[in-house]
Structure 1
Amino acid sequence: MTREQHGTVPQPGTRVARGEGLRLFAAAIMIMIGMFHLIAGFAAVLRGSYFVVSENYFLVIDVAVWGWGHLVLGIIVVATGAALFAERPWAYVSGIVIVGLSALGNFMFLPYQPLWAVLIIAVDVAVVWALAMRLRELSVGD
């Protein structure tokens, strides 16, 4: 339910206002992360020679396979971020799971783009934190 349906608008600094900020932050960052996954996926599929792979990494997979994985993950992350903007209740828990998978996928992407993967993992952790805090606020009650 939206604030307008309740007939009240929360004052700045209240629990509801902070929670809404966390939801909006997570939704916006998820859409951005999804777009980054799409860009990395297209780069890997269309121009796999762009990525240089270390041969001493425990997980060696074809770059095109990683590209398709990033494309699929990017679409899912963008869709879940859009669902958070639309205030869908299922998007909180599924967002945590999907962003966790994003972090795991980027961990395995470390030999291809180490700095980029670490940056996206850090942003994924921030999104998980924001979603978990919002879920806690919702369980305690607005």
Structure 2
Amino acid sequence: MAGAHASGTDPYPGMAPVANYGPPPSVALTTSGFAGTMLIMASLFQILQGIAAVAQDTVYLTGVEYVYQLDMTSWGWIHIVVGVVALATGIGILTGRTWAYLMGIVLATLSSIANFAFLPYFPIWSGIVIAFNVAVIWSLCTLLASDNPA
């Protein structure tokens, strides 16, 4: 079927073709948005977890002898520090900073390890934070793999 205009002529003179505007948002943009949002949420959960441990030691169960047993105040500060650094990194991921991608993987891993060690004290909350961190690690690894194909 023949088109409405002759081949080689511009149907909309004076307008730039759509191809000059660039491709639609890529998977990398949505993946980094997901990773940044999830890391921010996990870091806020971790900060709240740390504040509860520092403010009142009796919030968490401490009756069990455990290999990674620390004072609740120490656990609280560990969670607060990791959470604040992860929050800044999550903001860095959302703003597209390249340093934040690898730092996000490292911090999500550290946060997962800290929450794994904290499981006997508050298992459901720690499990939720670990799940969020696994989603962050997966999405950032997917993002880095799509940016740097082997």
TM-score scaled by structure 1? 0.87
Dislocated runs of 4+, deviation >4 Å = none
Aligned length: 131
Tell me the CA shift for residue 54 of structure 1: 4.1
Q: Secondary structure at the match of 1:57?
A: coil
CA distance in 2, matches of 1:136, 1:19: 10
One-letter code aligned to 1:53: T
* Cα pair 2:38 2:135 within 8 Å, conserved: no
Q: Which residue of 2 aligns with 1:4?
A: none
1:24 corresponds to which of 11, 30, 33:
33
* Cα pair 2:89 2:100 within 8 Å, conserved: yes
Larger radius of gyration: 2
One-letter code aligned to 1:8: Y
Q: Which residue of 2 aligns with 1:83?
A: 92
* Cα pair 1:31 1:81 within 8 Å, conserved: yes
CA distance in 2, matches of 1:37, 1:120: 7
1:65 corresponds to which of 55, 58, 74:
74
Q: Which residue of 2 aligns with 1:49?
A: 58
CA distance in 2, matches of 1:122, 1:99: 10
Identity %: 35
Structure 1 alignment gaps of length 5 or more:
1-6
Tell me the CA shift for residue 9 of structure 1: 4.2
Tell me the CA shift for residue 119 of structure 1: 1.5
One-letter code aligned to 1:138: D
Tell me the CA shift for residue 105 of structure 1: 0.4
Name the structure where helix makes up a greater proportion of residues: 1
Q: Which residue of 2 aligns with 1:133?
A: 142
> Which residues in structure 2 correspond to 1:112-131 (within 5 Å)?
112-131=121-140
Tell me the CA shift for residue 55 of structure 1: 1.7
Structure 2 alignment gaps of length 5 or more:
1-19
TM-score scaled by structure 2? 0.82
CA distance in 2, matches of 1:34, 1:123: 9
Q: Secondary structure at the match of 2:107?
A: helix
One-letter code aligned to 2:21: T
Q: Secondary structure at the match of 1:140?
A: coil
Tell me the CA shift for residue 60 of structure 1: 1.0
CA distance in 2, matches of 1:135, 1:95: 12
